[in-house]
Amino acid sequence: MRDATRQTVVWEALRAVLADLTAATGRDRLDIVDAGGGTGGFAVPLAGLGHAVTVVDPSPDSLAALERRAAETGVPVRAVQGDAGDLGDLVESGGADLVLCHSVLEYVEDPAAALAAAAGILRRGGVVSVLAANPVATAIHRALSGNFGEARQVLADSAGRWGDRDPTPRRFTKEDVTGLLTKAGFTVADVHGVRVFADLVPSRLAEADPAALVELERAAAAHPVLRDIATQVHVIAYR
């Protein structure tokens, strides 16, 4: 239930995008590419909605788990091994209606190149969904765990890292993500904060009233201040 609460805002944004694309294209079956989609947390449910989904991921183990998950669910998902920056070599140019780029920019060698590659495989009017870790939230979380020096380091570091042991190579503010998207030729449509409170509230309280927490997350997702302290920044942009 906690995971579902954390993903509610993203899924609601994606459902709105799917509805808009279906109306604009006149097609119920959309072509979706999930860059760095791993084991299919988004890909398999999207395929279950009747869409044609391709997952591009560098990990053969993740892709094997994806294929097992898809088989168990009874939906077809295409698995392609490769990096997000190489989408243009792996997927048909201009063949996608929607590209997911979730928790990818933090790890790719060149985030700008990855978004340019996403733009290259999208049809005109296509959409990219970008989900990226937010350094402001990381500073808050490090401080709440008593690591005040690490929290200060996050705020001072250009990549938003708290130290050499930080497993995340880089993090992005709202301005970082929207700037990269604009340079890649996208028009930014919506910006949401994801997991504003869900990662701060103790589990016992979250599990006591998950519906109320979901409503709070919805309200906070577009709040001009609260969205900037969310664990993740979610941006929807059009090509």
How much of the chain, in percent, has pLDDT values that exceed 70?
98
Largest CA distance in the chain: 54
130 pLDDT band (50/70/90 cuts)? Answer: very high
| Residues 38-61 pLDDT 10s | 999 999 999 999 999 999 999 999
Q: Does 206 fall in a domain?
A: no
- Regarding whether 140 and 114 lie in a shared domain, the answer is no
| Residues 207-230 pLDDT 10s | 899 999 999 999 999 999 999 999
Q: Does 117 fall in a domain?
A: yes
Q: Does 69 fall in a domain?
A: yes
What integer pLDDT is reported at residue 6 of this predicted model? 78
d(CA 4, CA 71): 22
What integer pLDDT is reported at residue 141 of this predicted model? 97
Q: Does 1 fall in a domain?
A: no
102 pLDDT band (50/70/90 cuts)? Answer: very high
Domain extent at residue 128? 9-133+172-196+217-238
- Regarding whether 66 and 15 lie in a shared domain, the answer is yes
- Region 126-134 average pLDDT: 98
Global confidence as pTM? 0.94
1 pLDDT band (50/70/90 cuts)? Answer: very low
Q: How many domains does the chain have?
A: 2
What integer pLDDT is reported at residue 116 of this predicted model? 97
Tokens 């201040």 appear where? 225
Q: What is the CATH number of the domain that holds 13?
A: 3.40.50.150
- Regarding whether 159 and 71 lie in a shared domain, the answer is no
Q: State residue 149 phi and psi, 5-degree precision.
A: -65, -40
- Regarding whether 150 and 92 lie in a shared domain, the answer is no
Q: Does 29 fall in a domain?
A: yes
CA distance readout (Å), 141 to 29, 137, 199: 40, 6, 9
Q: Does 212 fall in a domain?
A: no
What integer pLDDT is reported at residue 3 of this predicted model? 64
What integer pLDDT is reported at residue 13 of this predicted model? 96
- Regarding whether 142 and 129 lie in a shared domain, the answer is no
- Region 105-116 average pLDDT: 96
- Regarding whether 114 and 49 lie in a shared domain, the answer is yes
